[in-house]
Structure 1
Amino acid sequence: MKKLFGKLMLKLVGWKVVLEGDVDNLDRCILVVAPHTANEEYLLGNLAYWSLGKPLKVIIKDEHTKAWYGFLVKAIGGIGIDRSQKNDLVKFVVDLFNKEDFSLVITPEGTRSWVPKWRKGFYHMALAAKVPIVFAAGDFKEKIMYLGRKISVQDLETRTYEEIMAEMEEYYKKIHPKFPEQWNPKIY
């Protein structure tokens, strides 16, 4: 049902999905979504994943999972985290991956506003959970959701953080965010 709904909604809003790599890249990974300048990216990304029949989760402020609409947030993959408390998110994510297969959305910018550099948590989560990093991007100029380019677990273990970040920075340069003034293409 979600697969049909995702395809239909993307068609209605005029967006298409471009798969970069094998669809199986989307099964069990840290899904790095950038640029992150608007809430619509999450909705479009969810529709894209649903259209491909893949499970998706996202770590979100727990106020959204505890609110009156929290059942809906949880139904579309929201996992509430109390950000006022010190959390070991890397361990939390590893434990999640040990229980089930899914893709976990991470927006390394951490906000929809301009930031000087990305946070490194997604990298440490992927290394500790032994899952690949997969790129995802919504190009608002072209109305295309790009999914599937992968950095394998072996690459994560043998290449430096700087090499991986340089590859990601080069990749995301081609993407047109909804609000360009809120995007810093220099990510590390």
Structure 2
Amino acid sequence: MRWLIGRLWLRIFGWTLVGTLPDAPKWVFIAAPHTSNWDLPFMLATAWSLRVRVSWLGKHTLFEGPFAPFMRWLGGLPVDRRAPHGLVAQVVGEFARRERLVLAIPPEATRSYRDFWKSGFYHIAVGADVPVGTGFLDFAQKRCGLGPTLRLTGDVRADMDRVRAFYEPLRGKVPADQGPVRLREEGEASP
């Protein structure tokens, strides 16, 4: 049913789906660029059209009370950001515990302009030793899907050069809110 909803959504809006899934049961799904509230329905339609059951991270309090089952059904994974061992360690642990997990992470972390991407996706992928699927929305071309699957090496600059090469030509719905594709760990001199 989700597949049909996703395909119908993309067809109604005139979008083209491209790419292939990583050949792995566990991977990090980068969701970028992220400049508008429209990104959520388009990224869900993309994932559903590719028949990917994505998970996402949510504050643990979202998973308490009457909406907890619905949040889990949507793919939510509760995380406690106050935990002393940190968010990355919690998520790496989730990858270790599960046979299958596709975790969607928008590295821009907000719809507003930022000078740097958040590095959590990078540290999670390296820590869990899982590939990164380059999920994307290109509002200028009305294209969405998955670009190349990347195995991160731990060389932040070299890995991000590959990520940058893919994402820099893409345009979010609000291009003025789209920041550079770089991590703080790369230093201020990065492109």
TM-score range, shorter chain: 0.7 to 0.9
2:159 is matched with 164
1:11 is matched with 11
CA shift at 1:139, angstroms? 0.8
2:91 to 90, 93, 109: 93
2:173 to 169, 173, 178: 178
Give unpaired runs (5+ residues) of structure 1.
Answer: none
Secondary structure, aligned partner of 2:144: strand
8 Å CA contact 1:139–1:176 kept in 2: the answer is yes
CA shift at 1:138, angstroms? 0.6
8 Å CA contact 2:29–2:105 kept in 1: the answer is yes
Rate the CA distance shift 1:84–1:111 in 2: closer, same or farther, 3 A. Answer: farther
Q: Residues 41-56 of structure 1: matches in 2 within 5 Å? A: 41-56=39-54
Structure 1 residues 110-155: Cα deviation after superposition (integer angstroms, max 9, x where no partner)? 2111111112221111111110011111111222113141112xxx
Residue 187 in 1 paired to residue 185 in 2?
A: no
Q: For 1:161 and 1:182, locate their aligned partners in 2 and report how far apart those are by CA, in whole Å.
A: 24
8 Å CA contact 1:27–1:55 kept in 2: the answer is no
Cα RMSD (Å)? 2.3
CA shift at 1:74, angstroms? 2.5
Secondary structure, aligned partner of 1:23: coil
Rate the CA distance shift 1:186–1:7 in 2: closer, same or farther, 3 A. Answer: closer
Identity of aligned residues (%): 30
Secondary structure, aligned partner of 1:30: strand
Q: For 2:45 and 2:28, locate their aligned partners in 1 and report how far apart those are by CA, in whole Å.
A: 18
CA shift at 1:61, angstroms? 3.4
1:33 is matched with 31
8 Å CA contact 1:25–1:134 kept in 2: the answer is no
Q: For 2:28 and 2:38, locate their aligned partners in 1 and report how far apart those are by CA, in whole Å.
A: 20
> TM-score of the superposition, structure 2-length normalised?
0.82
Amino acid of the structure 1 residue aligned with 2:42: L
2:79 is matched with 81
Amino acid of the structure 1 residue aligned with 2:9: M
Larger helix fraction of residues: 1
8 Å CA contact 1:117–1:184 kept in 2: the answer is yes
Give unpaired runs (5+ residues) of structure 2.
Answer: 184-191
